[in-house]
């Protein structure tokens, strides 16, 4: 076992563990892997199981999500070029429709055997209004394509998740978030949206125009229609300084409530079986501050894979596992980076994983995390993947996990090719005990009955859904199950 000989510096662990909990995320046109070969806006296939040859002789490629836990064989994959094509497609559709963003959800929000639409041709920052500090952006724009164009116009997104490979509409559909108790999810920063409903009618909405649609559409789960653009609140362009450091787990749990108020964006990573956590803070620095960019250099194999080997070798010896993990993690050096905000937020994921995340009332965060770590130890659950611990400001989005409460979000992961079920089955009851609400895009086992007790505005959402899609054009089996719609 060569764990001690592997040099684990802070960047390798933060980028590979904290930050690098993941992959080659840019896989295959972001959820629409065949788009480059799709010349017409629509490719059709005979509807049969795994039927892949379309009427015009082209292949309709199967769809799979980022982690590979979901697969589907749509019979039509469509990549409309403009609003008129999209409207025609919806009006003429003889089967149900689902939209795909970048395919970065673990729950079956996207899978369909009918029509799968990608808005990969609705990309780009369309307009920045510096008097209202808003930016209008195409729905299919990847988050990674937003930062620089905004920067050129002197503004930045207020906050971002820890990767930037999602499509904007996909991220908004599930209230995708970053961290920072003063900052809400991306959905909470949306001030206007444009959406095409099941009749092919185009609607604009905001807090003052079609306000019910606006409240529902900011976390729409892809079941109200097709979102074509969103306007987001922005801030004056800013740079961030990222600091990372190791601290004893007890200290992290005790100081979390204070640390979160002292830093613009704060998160930490807790390691199952270890007594240390890695903290990560982001704070604004003057725009003239020179960039400090560490080169991400992995010496030897990816540290997450090293941890995985360590976990395998020590599976039957949890004391040895703790000892070795503590040695490795406590040796991680503190580090600093400075750069444009969007460059600091977006991390690279080069290990695929499966994730469960729940949002619980902010004040319960430390207790809940401690209980999860204790449960892993007590039941000797085979997981070494770090647990991500973040904060999100409460909002007024009807189906947002942060609806009307400041929250702490806790994310549990396991490698994509490892059994995550035992682990998630052990931690989900803990999340529920703390009144947790699951991330809509991450693994959970809840159905409509549970959601109806968690979301006081669910009925209002369902009314809006019915108004804009009375025939259920935009439903799939999963949506029916979680919303209780038949
Ligand atoms: C490696 C990794 C890291 C992640 N990090 C974070 C994180 O830091 N914070 C966080 O909150 N989440 C995170 N997630 C979860 C992810 O942000 C959400 O699941 C998000 O919804 C995925 O966006 P997407 O573009 O891939 O959408 P998809 O997964 O493709 O679709 C999500 C939903 O959006 C709908 N949709 C997509 N486009 C449209 C459209 N134009 N109109 C209407 N509906 C549409 C789909 O129908 C579906 O219901 C992460 C996921 C991965 C794989």
* pLDDT tens per residue, range 258-279: 999 999 999 999 999 999 999 9
Structure tokens at 429: 């009851």
Q: What percent of the chain has pLDDT over 70?
A: 86
Alpha helices in 34-105, H assignment, sequence order: 83-92
Asked if residue 10 has pLDDT above 50, the reply is no
> What pLDDT does 59 receive?
75
DSSP one-letter code for 408: E
Point out the least confidently predicted range of 184-198, 211-225, 281-295, 449-463: 281-295
Q: Is 222 in the pocket of ligand 1 (CB under 6 A)?
A: yes
Distance (angstroms) between ligand 1 centre and the Cα of 80 equals 20
DSSP per residue, 249-282? HHHHHHHHHHHHHHSSEEEEEE-TT-SEEEEEEE
Q: What is the pLDDT of residues 323-338, one digit of tens each?
A: 999 998 998 899 999 9
Residue labelled with tokens 């319960």: 364
In whole angstroms, give the CA distance from residue 48 to residue 34.
19
Give me the architecture of the 125-237 domain, per CATH.
2-Layer Sandwich (3.30)
Q: How far is CA 178 from the centre of its chain?
A: 9
In whole angstroms, give the CA distance from residue 176 to residue 156.
17
> What pLDDT does 8 receive?
42
In whole angstroms, give the CA distance from residue 186 to residue 401.
12
> What pLDDT does 305 receive?
85
* Pairing of β 335-340 and β 42-44: unpaired
Give me the architecture of the 28-118 domain, per CATH.
2-Layer Sandwich (3.30)
DSSP one-letter code for 17: I
Q: What is the pLDDT of residues 294-308, one digit of tens each?
A: 755 545 667 788 888
Distance (angstroms) between ligand 1 centre and the Cα of 32 equals 13
Query: Which of 31, 99, 346 for mutating ligand 1's site (highest number of atoms within 8 Å of CB)?
Result: 99
Q: Is 401 in the pocket of ligand 1 (CB under 6 A)?
A: no
In whole angstroms, give the CA distance from residue 109 to residue 98.
8
* Pairing of β 97-100 and β 115-118: parallel
Structure tokens at 442: 């991450």
Cα angle at 363 between 362 and 369, to 5 degrees? 80
Asked if residue 28 has pLDDT above 70, the reply is no
> What pLDDT does 36 receive?
31
User: What residue spans define the domains of the chain?
Assistant: 3-21+239-438, 28-118, 125-237
Identify which has the larger pLDDT, 204 or 348: 204
Instruction: Name the nearest CA neighbour of 107 among 482, 403, 469, 483.
Output: 482
Structure tokens at 216: 């529902």
Which is the closest atom of ligand 1 to the Cα of 139? 41
Distance (angstroms) between ligand 1 centre and the Cα of 466 equals 23
Residues 5-30 have a mean pLDDT of 35
Beta bridge partners of residue 115, listed in sequence order: 76, 97
Residues 113-117 have a mean pLDDT of 97
Q: Considering only CA atoms, give the Rg of the chain.
A: 22
Q: Is 105 in the pocket of ligand 1 (CB under 6 A)?
A: yes
Give the CATH H-level superfamily of domain 3-21+239-438.
FAD-linked oxidases, C-terminal domain (3.40.462.10)
In whole angstroms, give the CA distance from residue 203 to residue 212.
12
Q: Is 162 in the pocket of ligand 1 (CB under 6 A)?
A: yes
Structure tokens at 473: 């054009």
């Amino acid at each position: 076992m060569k764990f001690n000989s592997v040099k684990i510096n802070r960047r390798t662990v933060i980028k590979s563990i904290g930050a690098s909990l993941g992959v080659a995320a840019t896989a295959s046109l972001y959820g629409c892997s065949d788009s480059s070969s799709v010349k017409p806006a629509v490719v059709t296939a005979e509807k049969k199981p795994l039927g892949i040859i379309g009427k015009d002789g082209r292949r309709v490629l199967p769809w799979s999500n980022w982690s590979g836990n979901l697969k589907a064989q749509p019979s039509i994959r469509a990549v409309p070029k403009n609003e008129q094509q999209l409207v025609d497609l919806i009006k003429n559709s003889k089967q149900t429709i689902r939209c795909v963003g970048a395919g970065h959800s673990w729950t079956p929000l996207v899978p369909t055997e009918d029509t799968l639409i990608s808005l990969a041709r609705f990309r780009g920052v369309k307009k920045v209004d510096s008097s209202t500090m808003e930016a209008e952006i195409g729905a299919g724009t990847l988050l990674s394509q937003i930062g620089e164009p905004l920067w050129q116009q002197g503004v930045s997104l207020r906050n971002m998740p820890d990767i930037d490979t999602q499509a904007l509409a996909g991220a908004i559909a599930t209230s995708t978030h970053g961290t920072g108790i003063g900052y809400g999810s991306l959905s909470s920063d949306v001030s206007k949206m444009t959406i095409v409903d099941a009749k092919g009618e185009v609607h604009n909405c905001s807090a003052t125009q079609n306000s019910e649609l606006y409240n529902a559409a900011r976390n729409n789960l892809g079941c109200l229609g097709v979102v074509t653009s969103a306007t987001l609140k922005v801030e004056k362009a800013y740079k961030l300084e990222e600091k990372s450091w190791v601290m004893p787990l007890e200290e992290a749990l005790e100081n979390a409530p204070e640390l979160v108020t002292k830093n613009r964006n704060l998160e930490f990573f807790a390691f199952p079986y270890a007594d240390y956590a890695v903290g990560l803070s982001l704070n604004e620095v003057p725009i003239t501050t020179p960039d400090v960019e560490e080169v991400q250099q992995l010496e030897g194999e990816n540290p997450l894979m090293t941890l995985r080997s360590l976990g395998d070798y020590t599976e039957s010896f949890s004391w040895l596992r703790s000892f070795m993990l503590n040695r490795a993690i406590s040796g991680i050096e503190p580090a600093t980076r400075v750069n444009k905000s969007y460059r600091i937020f977006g991390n690279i994921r080069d290990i695929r994983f499966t994730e469960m995340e729940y949002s619980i009332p902010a004040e319960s965060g430390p207790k809940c995390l401690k209980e999860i770590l204790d449960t892993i130890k007590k039941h000797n659950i085979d997981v070494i993947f770090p647990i991500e611990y973040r904060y999100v400001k409460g909002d007024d989005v009807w189906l947002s996990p942060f609806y009307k409460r400041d929250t702490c979000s806790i994310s549990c992961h396991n490698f994509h090719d490892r059994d995550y079920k035992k682990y998630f089955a052990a931690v989900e009851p803990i999340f529920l005990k703390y009144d947790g609400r699951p991330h809509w895009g991450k693994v959970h086992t809840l159905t409509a009955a549970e959601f109806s007790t968690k979301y006081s505005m669910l009925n209002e959402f369902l009314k809006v859904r019915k108004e804009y899609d009375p025939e259920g054009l935009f439903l799939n089996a999963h949506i029916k199950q979680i919303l209780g719609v038949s």
